[in-house]
Amino acid sequence: MRMPRVPLAWSAAGLLAAVALPWYALQEGLDSGVWLTGLWASEDYASGLGQLIAHGRWWLAPVLLALAASLVVSLLPLERERRGSLLLLASGIGLVLFVAQALGIGLRGWTADWLNVLLGELEARQVGIGAGGALVFIALLSLLSIGLALRGSFGGDAFVAGAVTTVGASIVLFTAWPILRILLQAFQDGDGAFMPALVIDRLAAEKIWSLRCLTGGGRCGVAWNTLFLALGCGAGTTALGLAFALIVTRTSFAYKKTLRVLTVLPIITPPFVIGLALILVFGRSGLVNQFLEWSMGVPSTRWIYGFQGVFLAQLLAFTPVAFLVLIGVVEGVSPTLEEASQTLRADRWATFSTVSLPLMRPGLANAFLVGFIESIADFGNPIVLGGDYGVLSTEIYFAVVGAQLDYGRAAALALLLLVFALGAFFLQRHVVGTRSYATISGKGDSGLPTPLPDRARRAAQWIALPWAGITLLLYGFAFVGGLVKVWGRDYTPTLDHYAKAFAIERSADGLIWSGAAWNSFWTTVKLAAIAAPLTAALGLLAAWLLVRQRFAGRATLEFATMLSFAVPGTVIGVAYVFAFNVPPIEITGTAMIIVLCFIFRNMPVGVRAGMAAMSQIDRSLDEASLTLRGRAPQTLIYVVLPLLRPAIVGALVYGFVRAVTTVSAVVFLVTAEYELATTYIILRVINGDYGLAIAYSCALIVLMLAVILLIQFLVGERRLGRRAPQIQGGRA
């Protein structure tokens, strides 16, 4: 009996939006209020009904009629399935017509020549969808989900149906659609004409594929540079991550906690800080060059700029990610299998090489994949240390923001970057294969992990410990670099860089945030604070649907949620420019596009964390809630979410930290009004103002540590009701 109220409310809300809100986007913004006097008379401010009647936009009529039909269906005394079928028909037709008119009519009338031939010239134009159009679309989508639920889909649960359509539609709009647009842009000329041969011309340039570096006659192309760097980074970070994981889990090393702290630092650090630290140590004015010139008379060189500098910076930045991937895999190797190997008279080296390492293959393959994709998507380190060593991410950047302004070339290069990423993804799938690597079951496993063979232990220590020392040294110099006047020239201690960035003055009108960095700082904090909870909420909702619900297309939805992670950030940034620079969604240059990029770029981590945590929660808890007449939203809020606190913390922390530190995905989206901290720091680096850049980076690290602690405090700890181990005589 309560169900008709919901479609009635959505139908009324959609019609109200079509009458009382501007249909198209406003230059002044909805909060300006200037549209209130022009809902009928002004072509710019008119509502959907006003656009239809007063301004002749006849193509809006079928959409509004679909809403009116849904309202009539909601009011009629119909059976459940009959009402669902009619709602599904009316809202489905409305959605199809809404999308058709939004894509078919643009700034110059019809968007395709065949529409001109079929329907004649159209003098009217159509800009981006505004508040009224967006709410009508949401109402139609909600009515569609209600219709599906009334017909018995999704177990007849309207909440589940609405969640599936919301997650699915948002991924289509803000992940699949931009990527599709960038793929199409690579095949179009400047006028938008489809010319498939153009992508071959754009990608066949010598600057992309030259191999002169191998013959000593010049430089290699940016495609080979990117591939060589990514392969080296993937292999290097995997080896280093494995060495760290083996030391932490399989040795009695005394400073394991210190090694774990080192895994956190690069993750909450802007990606180019390590590049700055390398410049402070190995640059022309760095300590090493100064010492060599003072002690041996060796002139300063620029050897840190190029492949070797970018490679070192990427190894330092991405090794902790490989460690986090591998430590769980190393810990998951069953001691029982290792003991069985030794029972069959295999020594420790044979056990390690023939039992332990093969069981780590999925983790090693995933660590390599993450390192490879992180390398090809990295923009900060190549722009700081690349010098003459060009890579695809920087080449895409200069194609868009430089004098070339060639979006087609940028799209073609982004397509090549996507091919590299997908190639690595399928290679990883092939290496892992279909064999089972499961070592954890419901049975207890009381065995003790086998100590590392001496050769493996010494190799891991010789690889990992010096690297940890270098990491600590570089972070130390990076911190000190913000506390001296001019690195390499004047080492006088000073706080001038912090004062220049974060100065606060008092006036008669109150405090003035006069520091040069405050504008980008507050913008970054505000947008990250908006994006982080939305990222976590959407990711965990998608995880709940994928783990707890059964519906057609679930596997497709799971793949779609991971699509933005498989695509490098540079490609996502360019794709958002292409997709949202023109109608129907015209939001380039606004804060909204940056927030959306944050959400859908970082959402996959929340999805995977939620799926992993939810897989450990027995379904009987959900069934008990349903038995007590708890509906799906109540079960999710009061039963599932309290048990997902670790996943919630992880999703919130990752969403905020990545929003603050990301560069490649948003470097094309920032404007003078919405400048972010990372882009501000990069500009300071390019101008040689290293002290201010380092001071700002250190401030961001402190901010993120504080936010992580705040999130952990607000979310709290998960309580499972388990007994704590009894401590007697100092031993458990």
**pLDDT per position as a tens digit, 240-266:** 988 888 888 877 777 777 777 777 677
> Mean pLDDT, to the nearest integer, of 375-400?
86
In the prediction, which pLDDT does 438 show?
Answer: 43
Three-state DSSP at 298 gives coil
Q: Which two tokens stand for residue 624?
A: 């008990």
> Mean pLDDT, to the nearest integer, of 127-156?
94
Residue 504 is given by DSSP the state -
Three-state DSSP at 502 gives helix
Q: Give the C-alpha separation, 518 to 513, whole Å.
A: 6
Among 229, 567, 223, CA closest to 381: 229
Highest mean pLDDT among 225-239, 420-434, 687-701: 225-239
Confidence label for 722 from pLDDT (cuts 50, 70 and 90): very low
Which pairing describes strands 505-507 and 105-106: parallel, antiparallel, or unpaired? unpaired
Cβ neighbours of residue 161 closer than 8 Å, sequence gap 6 or more: 145, 146, 148, 149, 153, 154
Find the radius of gyration of the CA atoms of the chain.
29
| Helices and strands (H and E) in the chain: how many | 35, 6
Confidence label for 444 from pLDDT (cuts 50, 70 and 90): very low
DSSP 49-68: HHHHHTS--GGGHHHHHHHH
The number of beta carbons lying within 10 Å of the beta carbon of residue 627 is: 9
The number of beta carbons lying within 10 Å of the beta carbon of residue 641 is: 15
> Mean pLDDT, to the nearest integer, of 399-413?
78
Q: Give the C-alpha separation, 571 to 396, whole Å.
A: 9
CB 712, CB 553: distance < 8 Å: no
Residue 405 has pLDDT above 80, yes or no: no
Higher pLDDT, 274 or 444: 274
Residue 731 is given by DSSP the state B
Q: What is the largest CA-CA distance in the chain?
A: 95
In the prediction, which pLDDT does 538 show?
Answer: 94
The number of beta carbons lying within 10 Å of the beta carbon of residue 506 is: 8
In the prediction, which pLDDT does 31 show?
Answer: 75
CB 64, CB 16: distance < 8 Å: no
Among 423, 411, 389, CA closest to 207: 389
Q: Looking at this protein, which amino acid is placed at residue 177?
A: W
pLDDT tens string 20-34: 999 999 887 777 777
CB 212, CB 219: distance < 8 Å: yes
> Mean pLDDT, to the nearest integer, of 414-426?
83
pLDDT tens string 45-103: 899 999 999 888 999 999 999 999 999 999 988 899 999 999 999 999 999 999 999 99
Q: Give the C-alpha separation, 48 to 40, whole Å.
A: 9
Q: Give the C-alpha separation, 379 to 570, whole Å.
A: 8
Residue 528 has pLDDT above 80, yes or no: yes
Highest mean pLDDT among 186-200, 224-238, 416-430: 224-238
In the prediction, which pLDDT does 435 show?
Answer: 52
In the prediction, which pLDDT does 732 show?
Answer: 39
Three-state DSSP at 110 gives strand
CB 664, CB 574: distance < 8 Å: no
Length of the chain, in residues: 732
Lookup result for tokens 């390499």 = 488
In the prediction, which pLDDT does 1 show?
Answer: 40
Higher pLDDT, 380 or 165: 165
Q: Which two tokens stand for residue 267?
A: 């993750």
Three-state DSSP at 715 gives helix
Among 404, 399, 403, 430, CA closest to 415: 399
Cβ neighbours of residue 623 closer than 8 Å, sequence gap 6 or more: none
In the prediction, which pLDDT does 717 show?
Answer: 62
Residue 726 has pLDDT above 60, yes or no: no
Cα–Cα–Cα angle for 574, 191, 133, rounded to 5 degrees: 65
Please state, for a pLDDT cut of 90, what percent of the chain lies above it: 29
**Of the listed ranges 301-305, 369-373, 553-557, 714-718, the one predicted with least confidence:** 714-718
Question: Mind listing the domains of the chain with CATH numbers?
Answer: 5-151 (no CATH), 222-437+449-478 (1.10.3720.10), 518-715 (1.10.3720.10)
**Phi, psi dihedrals of residue 272, rounded to the nearest 5°:** -100, 0
How many C-alpha atoms does 484 have within 13 Å on its Cβ side?
15
Q: Cis omega before residue 584 (within 30°)?
A: yes
Tell me the average pLDDT of the chain: 83
Lookup result for tokens 């707890």 = 548
DSSP 176-244: IHHHHHHHHHTTB-TT--B-THHHHHHH--HHHH-BHHHHTSSPBPHHHHHHHHHHHHHHHHHHHHHHH
Confidence label for 612 from pLDDT (cuts 50, 70 and 90): low
Confidence label for 724 from pLDDT (cuts 50, 70 and 90): very low
